[in-house]
Amino acid sequence: MTQPAIIFANGFPAQGKAVQQVLEAHPNRRIIAADGGANLAYQAYQLIPDVIIGDMDSTTTEQRAFFQQQGSVLHVFPPEKDETDLELALLYAHQHGHNPIFIIGAFGNRFDQTLGNVYLLALPALAGHDVRLVGFEQQLWLVGAGEHTLHGAVGDTLSLLPFSSTVSHVHTSGLYYPLKGEDLLLGHARGMSNVFIMPEVTIHFTDGSLLLIHTQGRA
C-alpha cells in the first residue's frame, strides 16, 4: 500500500467531521503544504508540513524559517508560473507515488480559486489516484466510467454532478432516488441531493465523468 498524502491549501480551515476522520484514519501520511497552506496546517491543526511548495507569496520570511527549523523542506517556484501552488503540490504527490491524496483548505472566499481547485481533480497526472477535497462534513472526488462503491450512514446526502457533457446509463442502488439507466447531462440538476437509504451505495455508468459530493448527514 502506498503512503497517503494530505495536502493543505491556503483556504478556509473547514474544520468538521469529515476532516477529522481523514486525519485520524491516516496517521502514516505525508503532509504537503501549498504555500500558505503551511500556516493553515500549523495554526488550525497543529501539524508541521513535511514539504512546502509554491512561490511563497503567502508566507513570510519568518514563517518559512520557523518551518525549516521544524524540519520542513521548501520547494520554491517563481511567481510567474503556469501552475497554481496547489497544482504543484498535487504533481509532487503524484511524482512521489502518494495515494490516496486528501486536500484540506481548498475552499475559500475566492470562487475562481475554489472552482479551479475542483477542476484540479481532473489533472491527467492524477488518473488512477484517489484524490479528494475534504472540508467541513464533505468529501468531493471525481470518478470515471465503471462501478463504484461508497460507504456512509443512512441519511447522508450524495450529489452526482456531471463533469462531462454526458454521463451515460447511470444505475444506482442504496439511494432514495434511484437512477435506472438514465443519462446525467451537464447543466441539469438531476443528480443533486440524493440520500443514502443503505450504508453501502453503488453507482455504475458506462461513459463520462461524475463529481461525487458526499455530505455526512442530511444537507
Q: Residue 148 is part of which domain span?
A: 141-215
The one-letter amino acid code at 201 reads V
Is the pTM higher than 0.85? The answer reads yes
Q: Do 121 and 39 lie in a common domain?
A: yes
Same domain, 28 and 71: yes
Final residue before a domain boundary, out of 80, 102, 136: 136
Q: How far apart are CA 201 and CA 203, in angstroms?
A: 7
Total of domains in the chain: 2
Distance CA 100, CA 104 (A): 13
Q: What is the CA radius of gyration of the chain?
A: 18
Residue 219 has a pLDDT of 76
Give phi and psi for 103, each to the nearest 5. Answer: -115, 120
Same-domain check for residues 56 and 116: yes
Q: What is the pLDDT along the chain (219 residues), one digit of tens a residue?
A: 689 999 999 999 999 999 999 999 999 999 999 999 999 999 999 999 999 999 999 999 999 999 999 999 999 999 889 999 999 999 999 999 999 999 999 999 899 999 999 999 999 999 999 999 999 999 999 999 999 999 999 999 999 999 999 999 999 999 999 999 999 999 999 999 999 999 999 999 999 999 999 999 987
Indicate whether 66 and 172 sit together in one domain: no
8 A C-beta contact, residue 162 and residue 184: yes
pLDDT of residue 70: 97
Q: Are residues 161 and 132 in the same domain?
A: no
Domain co-membership, 18 together with 38: yes
Domain with 200 in it: what CATH number?
2.60.120.320
pLDDT computed for residue 1 by the predictor: 61
